[in-house]
Each structure stands twice: as C-alpha cells, then as structure tokens.
Amino acid sequence: MFHPALFKLIGLLWRGSARQFRNSLKTARGLVMTGFIVSMIVYGIGSLYFVTHVAGKTPKIGGIFNDVQNDFLTLGLFVFTSGILLFSTGEATIFFTASEAAFLFPAPISRKQLVAYKLFNSLLGIMTVSLFFACFSTPSFSMLVPRLVGTLMTISFLQLLTMNVAFTRQLLEEKTSVLLRRSLGAVLAVAVLLALFQTSTTVQDLDVLKLSKAFQSSFAGRWMLAPFQLFTLMLRAPDWTTFLPYGSLILLLDLVLLTLVFRLDALSLESAMATSEKLTARLKMVQSKGVWQALARANPSVAKRKIQQLPYWGGIGPVVWQKLTTTFRSSNKLFWLLAAAIAGAATLVYFMSRAKSPPHVPPIVGSIGMAYMSLLICLSIQNEIERVGFLKSLPLSAMAVVLGELLGFVVLLSVIQSLFIAILAGCFPAAATWLWCGALLTFPLNFLLFGVDKLVFYIYPTRMAKGTPGDFQAAGKQMVFMMMKMLILGGAALIVGLASLPGALLFQSPVVAAATAAIVLVIECLVLVPFLIAAYDRFDPGMAITA
Amino acid sequence: MIHVEGYEKAYRNTLAVQGLSFEIAPGSVLGLVGPNGAGKTTTMRAIAGIISPTEGRLLVAGHDVVQDPIAAKSQLAFIPDEPQLFEVLTVWEHLEFTASVYRMPDFASEAERLLEQFELTEKRDTIAQELSRGMRQKVAICCAYLHNPRAILFDEPLTGLDPRGIRTLKISIRERAAVGAAIMVSSHLLDLIEDLCSHLLILNRGRSLFQGTIAEAKSKLEGAGSEASLEELFFQFTEPATVAEPESTSP
C-alpha cells in the first residue's frame, strides 16, 4: 500500500527542515530572527496555557470556558461540516506541491499509494494540532489520552470528509455536483432559517450564549445538530466509560470514510496536476501581487469594469487611476468579504438596537469595524517591487507617485467607512456625536496606516518568498517589519493622544478632542510625506530581501 | 519504444489533440514542434501517464500507460519545462529519493557519474533553494537519467542552461539515443530540433501536420532544396494562410 520511496521522501523532507532550522541559527541575524519568532510562539503558547490552566481554574473563567465549549463545539462542527459539503472543492486535502507533482506523477507509484502518502502527511499534521488542542482543553491529566484521541478522530473526520467530497466531485459530472450542492444548500438554508425564526421569538437580548442555546434547542436545530452532538459528548467525556461508546461510533465513522477514500479510487493525476499548477500559480501571485489579485478570477468580463480616466493632477491622476482599476478588476473575493463583514455588522447592529445597548457600545463597534476594514485592505495590498521599479521608469515626480499610490485607496476607504459610520449614527442617535467625531479621523488615520506601510517597504523592499518548513527566519523578518510598523504607528498614536488630552480634559468635549486629534494626525501625515519621497527616491529593487 | 495510436484529448468543448498517431523507435530522437497551444505538453503528459487520453492507445516499452501505468512509467523519464525540486533537499538527496522510487539500491556510482557529467559534483550537498535556474534544470535531468530510462521526454529542455550546459545536454541526449533510448524533445528552438533530432512531428491545434525525418521535411518545402531551414518549413506548415493538410500516414 505504501511505496517505500514515499517514506523515504517524508524522512528526507523532515531532515531537510531540521537542517534548514540549524542553518538559520548560524548567522547572527538568523539567530536574532529565529529567536524572535520562537519567543513569539512560546509567548503565544504560554499565554494560552495561562488562560486555560491558570485563569481557567477560577470558577468564573472556568465557567465561561465550560459554557463556550458546551455551546459552541456542536455548532462549530455543524458550520464547518456544512462549509465542507457546500463550498469546499477539497483541493487543499489532495494538493500536491509542484515538486511532488513533478517527481511523483510520472514515477511508477500507484494512485492509491499517492493517496496514502497524502493521508499519512495529513495525519502528522492532525496529530500535532490534536496534541496542541488536547493539552489546552484537558481538565485533568488522566483525561489527556482520551481527549487527544477524540480530537484526533474529530479532525480526521473533517479531513476525510473533505477528501471524499473532492473525490466525489471528480467522479460526478459538474452539473450533477452543482445540483447536489444546491439541493443540500437549500435544505440547510430552510432548516437554519426555521431555527433562527424560533430563536428570535424566544430570545430578546444580545446574549450570544442564550442565542446559541435557543438555536440548538429549536426543533430544526435539534435535528440538524444531533449527529454533531456525538462529537461533543465524546470530546467532553469526563471519564473513559463515557468516552468509549461515543469514541467507538466516531471511529467507525472515520473508518467508513477512510474506506470510501480508497474505494472511490478517484485520484486523477490529471486534475491533481491541474490543481497543483493552479495553486502554485496562485501562491506565486500572492507572493508578487498580493491576495486580491491572487483570488481574482481571470475572465473577460472584468475588462468591462472601467474607471473613468482622472485628470493629470501633476502626475497623481494616472497613478491613482491605474491602482484603482487594478483593484477594481481583481476584487471580487474582497467585495464578498466586505459584504459578509457588513452583513455581520448589520446583524450586530440589529441585535444592539433591540437590546438597547449603552451609548458607548456603538462607537466601540464602529471603531473595531473601521480598524478591521483598514487593516484588511492594507494587509491585502502586496507591495510590488517590480511595480515600483516600473513607476520609477516613468517621467513622474516622486511626490506624484507617492501620493498617487496612497490617495486612491485612502480616499475610497475613508468614504466607505464614513458611510458605515453614518448608518451607525442613524441607528443610534444618542451616540451620533461620538461616531461623527470618529468619522473626522478616518482619512488621516488611513493615510498614516498606508503611508507607514509604504515607508517601511520603500526602506526595506521585501520580496515574499515561499516559506519552507524549518525556515523561521522568513517569518521572523515579517514579524520584525510588522513590529516596526506598529512601533511607528504606536509613536504617532501616542503623540496624538498626548496632544488631544489637554483639550479633552479642559473642555470635556469629544468634538474638541477629535478635532485636535485630527489636526495632529494631519500634521503627522504631512511630516510623513517627505520621508516617503526620500525613501522612494533611494528605493533600489536590487536591495530586495526575501521574507 | 513509444507508440501512440489514435490519441485524442478533449476538454469539455475543446479538442486539444485529435487523432494523433506516431512511433519513436529505440535510438531515435523525435522533435515535437508547434505554436503555443498546439498540444505538445498535453501529448507529453499523456505519454508520461499524468493525463488520461480521451481516445487512443499510448504504449511505452510495450506497456499501455493507462492499463499498466506502473510498468510503463518504470521505463520512462519526463523532464518538464520548469524544474520543480524539493526546496529543502540537497542535490544528492534528490538522487537518493529518485533511486528509491525506481528501487535502485546501488545508485551511488551512477549518481556520482551524472553529477560529474553535469558539473554538479561541487553542488552535491547544496539545497535546491540555493541553486540557479540552470542548475535546477541539470538536477532534474540527472534525476531523470538515473534509472537509465528507455524512453525520455524533454519539455523545453534548454531553458535556463548556460552554453556549456546546453552542450552537455545535447551530448547526453545523443549518448542516450546511441544506447537505444527513444527520446522526444519538445521545443520552440528550431535550431535545437534541427541539430539534435532525427525525426520531426509538427503539431498545430492538436493535429499532426507533418511526421517524418528532418530530410523528408525539407524535401516537402516548396521551392527550396535541402538547404532550406527548419524555420521556413515550420512557418510553411503552421501559418494560417498555408496550413497544410493533416498528415495521415505514420513515418
């Protein structure tokens, strides 16, 4: 069943990753970068351990954990499984890297052996994740093993289900597959709507735990969630006696799915090669052009999306136009992401207005929403070394390029955010003053966020490299750059805070505080521009580093 | 050694390759040329057992690549246009893994000979991530040659190689053909095809426009003698205004 060469490959890759890690410790810079990322990981795990094992021992926090696990485990599994059945192509579970495809596909290795190789690789990953989860969710050491086995079987269930979905899709005709998914989607949508309707009639306030409980105990909810309740009962079993019956059932389910994976025998090297090429190309696109363009589907209809040419404006106009057109034509997925965020925010606003939330809640929600939007867009735009090289070859001044690169996004984003704030202000008149004060800050804040991101990039042009296992240096470099940006932004925020504090204390007015903050922010933006121009002028694509 | 009979490949509404039949005898080097989208890579991948044919039979060393893929692939090597290596493995580890795939316990001496031939001995312990494009290509070729395949498929083999690398590769292809391997080279570099290949197959829009020896190809060129270049021949066959009738006979 398992070709010995595949064991050999796994062993060699582990050895290679370990060597990569050792090599990264040989230079001072590598040592610092690796140390940095390792300490961040240790910090993350340590915090989690503290929260779950120290703070979690206290009755209050322990009680919250208990409620969260009880109420959301079943629901989470239901959502995840529905997502797999309705939307997943399963590509990721049967994804062969370009090198695997190049070496393994033309080699005398059977399709079943390749599937076994993928499963074995997945199992190693699943075991690591399970160990992590089990350690942090185990109430007592005696329950560590059953909790570990339970988590392993649960994640394996999701993984095997995804593989079966992928193989079934390959066996079925496209039309049949789409029809099946749509039918299942329609049934689920009706059931969820029924459950939501019953929930809204029983719960009147914005208590997420109450909402979740009501949803799960509704008639449709009980039917939908019953199979997933088994997983929760297994994972929450207090002792072996309770664990074994549920564990045996889940094990049986996993074995059935595993048998199906091999029985379907549907790994088509052709489609696996196509998937490998598609995902490899997408990865390259992410590295060079960013997430937006990587997610965009190339089709002729995008060429129809046109933005009117802007006036020249000393060279700023063409740069803004080019940047916005590119984004506009490659932003399908981002549009849906923002739409989902807005739908989520609308639901939240609806429940907040029903619950008659205190006046400080809407501004907080608004700030979080704005920050989310800004960060989402800022992080999605990949700075392209080649693009800057191209811009530098144009007969445009550094100021025109720098402002052109920034203004398009900043203006657009600020307008969207102001609309969002206007809606919130309309829904919550009591908090309107605070919200409008926030709107005053959107433009300079966005300019500063995007500007600092560009500044760090111009000074340290970074080319995204494909991460290889064991190479913590690249991740370390990215973290260092992120910290640099955070430090600059934190310093700017501190100055804004200190400058606007006296006015706010003296006049006790949010308007005065916001106006002062806006003025200071604008000054900071103006100070940033010469730095940006100088950094752009000395930008050298040859100095690019990989991270 | 390589036998293709009535091969067709269809993708939904597109027929990528239609009714293709040809044979590559041991010791022959077949040049596969055609414009972009002609079906060259599709044909090579089908012979390599990576994609399945919609119609037709493909045999490698007498084994059907669909019915008996393991036996067929054991006799075959496929070098794709982009050398895809495992980034964290060294050059030697690539050879070690390849030897394991083809179950060759005593591979070391042959591997060392290949490294020397392709001037990679000094790079033996270098990880793939640190190799140039040309060196990666050489590693892929060494891995392909290691199990002494009886059929070798090259897709754009010269990309990224320096002049010395090109010469080494050409010599190695001639050597392999001399010991009886059937070789197929797909390339846009018509000079390479003319220099290296004994036979020619011109594809356009999935159809064979010409099959035969290079000399036969030249003799078909209207108004030109044996001095005519392959480039002229290529354009005469593939330019829309003068598309020739599909070839119906095998060489």
Q: In a structure prediction context, what are the per-residue pLDDT tens digits for chain A, which is 547 residues long?
A: 678 899 999 999 999 988 888 887 888 877 887 787 788 888 877 877 777 667 666 777 666 666 666 677 888 888 888 888 888 777 777 788 889 999 999 999 988 898 889 888 888 888 888 888 777 766 666 677 888 899 899 999 998 998 888 888 878 877 888 888 889 989 998 998 898 888 888 876 666 777 788 888 888 888 888 888 888 888 888 888 888 999 999 999 999 999 988 888 777 777 778 877 777 777 777 666 665 556 555 555 656 667 788 888 888 888 888 877 877 776 666 666 667 766 776 666 666 666 666 666 666 766 777 676 666 666 656 666 777 878 888 888 889 998 988 888 888 888 888 887 887 777 777 777 777 888 888 889 889 988 988 888 888 877 665 555 556 666 677 777 788 888 888 888 899 888 888 877 888 777 888 888 889 999 999 999 999 999 988 887 666 655 5
Q: How many Cα atoms within 13 Å fall on the side-chain side of residue A107?
A: 25
Q: Does A271 touch chain B (CB under 8 A)?
A: no
Mutating which of A100, A113, A270, A466 best tests the B interface, going by the most B Cβ atoms within 10 A?
A270
Helix (H) or strand (E) holding A4, with range, is helix A4-24
Which residues in chain B are closer than 8 Å to A170, comparing Cβ atoms?
none
Q: Compute the nearest-CA separation of B63 from chain A (Å).
A: 12
Q: Which residues of chain B have pLDDT under 70?
A: 221-228, 240-251
CA distance B215 to A329: 51
Which residues in chain A are closer than 8 Å to B67, comparing Cβ atoms?
none
Q: A131: how many CB neighbours lie within 10 A of its CB?
A: 14
Give the chain B residue whose CA is nearest to the CA of A270.
B51
Question: To 5 degrees, how large is the angle CA A470–CA A475–CA A477?
Answer: 125
Please enumerate residues of B whose Cβ is less than 8 A from a Cβ of A. 45, 48-52, 69-71, 73-74, 76-78, 80, 82-90, 93, 96-98, 100-103, 127, 129, 140, 143
CA A386 to chain CA centroid, Å, is 26
Query: How many beta-carbon pairs under 8 angstroms link A with B?
Result: 97
Which residues in chain A are closer than 8 Å to B102, comparing Cβ atoms?
107-108
Which residues in chain B are closer than 8 Å to A106, comparing Cβ atoms?
48-50, 73, 76-78
Report the residue from A17, A109, A269 with minimal CB separation from B88.
Answer: A17
Which residues in chain A are closer than 8 Å to B45, comparing Cβ atoms?
270, 273
Domain ranges of chain B: 1-75+150-164+177-251
pLDDT, residue A533, reads: 92
* Chain B contacts in chain A segment 94-133 (CB below 8 A): 97-99, 101-110
CA distance A218 to A195: 6
Report the residue from B50, B88, B101 with minimal CB separation from A270.
Answer: B50
**Alpha-carbon distances, residue A455 vs A330, A372, A383 (angstroms):** 25, 21, 11
Single-letter code of the amino acid located at B197: C
Which residues in chain A are closer than 8 Å to B93, comparing Cβ atoms?
12, 15-16
Mutating which of B11, B45, B50 best tests the A interface, going by the most A Cβ atoms within 10 A?
B50
Report the residue from A20, A273, A469 with minimal CB separation from B50.
Answer: A273
Closest CA to A132 of A159, A146, A156, A151: A151
Q: A414: how many CB neighbours lie within 10 A of its CB?
A: 20
pLDDT, residue A380, reads: 58
pLDDT, residue A515, reads: 87
Question: What percent of chain B is modeled with pLDDT above 90?
Answer: 53
Which residues in chain A are closer than 8 Å to B88, comparing Cβ atoms?
13, 16-17, 19-20, 468-470
Ramachandran assignment for B24, one of left (phi > 0), alpha (psi -120 to 50 degrees), beta (any other) = beta
- Architecture field, domain B1-75+150-164+177-251: 3-Layer(aba) Sandwich (3.40)
The DSSP code sequence of A254-288 is HHHHHHHHHHH----HHHHHHHHHHHHHHHHHHHH
CA distance A78 to A93: 19
Give the chain A residue whose CA is nearest to the CA of B70.
A108
pLDDT, residue A358, reads: 64
Name the pairing type of β-strands A462-463 and A545-546: parallel
Q: Which residues have CB under 8 Å from A348's CB, separation 6+?
A: A365
Report the residue from A5, A98, A110 with minimal CB separation from B97.
Answer: A5
pLDDT, residue A38, reads: 80
pLDDT, residue B248, reads: 44
B48/A16 Cβ within 8 A: no
Long-range contacts of A150-153 (CB under 8 A, 24+ apart): A150/A231, A150/A234, A150/A235, A150/A237, A150/A243, A150/A247, A150/A250, A151/A235, A152/A126, A152/A127, A153/A234, A153/A247, A153/A250, A153/A251, A153/A254
B67 is written with which tokens?
């019915």
pLDDT, residue A540, reads: 77
pLDDT, residue B174, reads: 93
Give the chain B residue whose CA is nearest to the CA of A2.
B101
Three-state SS across A22-61?
A: HHHCCCHHHHHHHHHHHHHHHHHHHHHHHHHHHHHHCHHH
